[in-house]
Amino acid sequence: MRIRKNDTVKVLTGNDKGKEGKVLKVFPDSNRIIVEKVNLMKRHTRPNKMTPQGGIIEKEGPINASNVMLVCPNTGKATRIGKDILSDGSRARVSKKSGEMLND
């Protein structure tokens, strides 16, 4: 999976198509991610220590990683991700649109 936590992504399909947000959590085994303010679900909760009032809480649900595309920090456009081998032998993620390395 080439998308990591704290990446900015753009949603390509579904009810939230066109929205951009930060990746909050990644589940590589099921190929799903949780994106900030995308796929909001309402959850009815009982009062507890965390939420003494209880009630209906909105939280993000997971979406498939294939439904999002990374936003290049340099151009601000959605881009595919490639891998490049550096001189010291380590790998780096590279934006296919701008050709520049992505911050990790």
Distance CA 46, CA 11 (A): 32
- How does pLDDT run across 27-47, given as a tens digit for each residue? 999 999 999 999 999 999 999
pLDDT at 104: 66
**Which residues of the chain are in CATH 2.30.30.30 domains?**
1-71
Taking the model in full, what pTM does it have? 0.88
**Could you report how far apart the first and last alpha carbons of the chain are, in Å?**
14
- How does pLDDT run across 67-86, given as a tens digit for each residue? 999 999 999 999 999 999 99
CATH of range 1-71; options 3.65.10.10, 2.30.30.30, 3.40.50.300, 3.30.70.1050? 2.30.30.30
pLDDT at 39: 97
